Amino acid sequence: MFSGKTALITGASSGIGEEMARQLAAMGCNLILVARRTERLDALAAQLAEVSVGVITLDLALRDAPQMLFDEVQRRGSQVDILINNAGFGYQKSTLEMSLEEQLGMVDVNDRALLALIRLFAEPMAGRGEGWILNVSSVSAWFPIPGMAAYAASKAFVQTLSRALHEELKPSGITVTTLSPGGTRTEFSAKARGQMDPSLEKAMMPVEPVARAGLEGLARGKAVVVPGGMYRAMTWITRCLPDSVVVRLAGSVMGRNNSWADV
């Protein structure tokens, strides 16, 4: 379905974004890879010689980054058929442990840049009457997490926005899908907590099926994709329990002093 199309992937230098780039290239989809670590992007591009791959080094926390990215894509004469808003990060810290800059920087990448890129790239997609947007959220979007409050809230923003846009942009021919992974074996956990808790290993999913579930869900026009039966059950259970119980449970299982902080 995506053969011959062009996908722009933010956060393509590692983890889920890198794996999506590999899977899309195997389908014959051309790529524009975006992240800060140029050497990682160049190394990946060199491995994906079967399709056309462009690399754009950019810090999406910068206020003008989305517009700069859009302008650079226009300057190169590329058409973005598929936008994958994947770049993101989180901290396992309480609000008072985090500086304001850390928290706002996270919101800038996870939410502000994502919204701006949708606004910029959806317009030409609507003009063509065709486009696909995949936004990477998290199972933590389903419930507030004391001890990881700003991250969970930033992902709830992604999910609420995406689910509304799934309906809103449908008449324009644009498919909007939310991918909400649970714990996935990437660099995410180490960045969030400084080190990987060995007890977490068993619950972590490999990156391949997570990326595949997102791309398949997008191709099928699904609104929300949660990879893994255990994580789908988790989102279902949280909808059945009283809110106050869910929030306390999330804090004790996934919050500051435990091993589940990245789901």
Ligand X SMILES: NC(=O)c1ccc[n+]([C@@H]2O[C@H](COP(=O)([O-])OP(=O)(O)OC[C@H]3O[C@@H](n4cnc5c(N)ncnc54)[C@H](OP(=O)(O)O)[C@@H]3O)[C@@H](O)[C@H]2O)c1
Considering only residues 177-196, where is the footprint of ligand X by CB under 6 A? Answer: 181, 183-184, 186-188, 191
Please select the residue that binds ligand X; options are 1, 3, 26, 37, rule is CB under 6 A: 37
Backbone angles phi, psi at 136, to 5 degrees: -90, 115
Task: Tell me how far the alpha carbon of residue 232 is from its chain's centroid.
Answer: 17
Contact between 136 and ligand X per CB under 6 A: yes
Q: Of 30 and 178, which CB lies nearer to ligand X in the complex structure?
A: 178
Binding mask of the shown chain, residues 7 to 36, with x at each position contacting ligand X by CB under 6 A: ---xxxxxxxx-----------------xx
Q: How far is the CB of 48 from ligand X (least distance, A)?
A: 15
Helix axes 207-220, 15-26, angle to 10 degrees: 60
Site mask, ligand X, residues 92-131, x = CB under 6 A?
Answer: -----------------x----------------------
Q: x/- contact string, 56-95, with ligand X (CB under 6 A)?
A: ---xxx------------------------xxxxx-----
Confirm whether 231 is a catalytic residue: no
- In terms of CB distance, is 77 or 198 closer to ligand X? 198
To ligand X, the closest distance from the beta carbon of 158 in angstroms equals 8
The residues pairing with 179 across neighbouring beta strands, listed in sequence order, are: 136, 225
Q: Do residues 136 and 88 touch, judged by C-beta distance below 8 A? A: yes
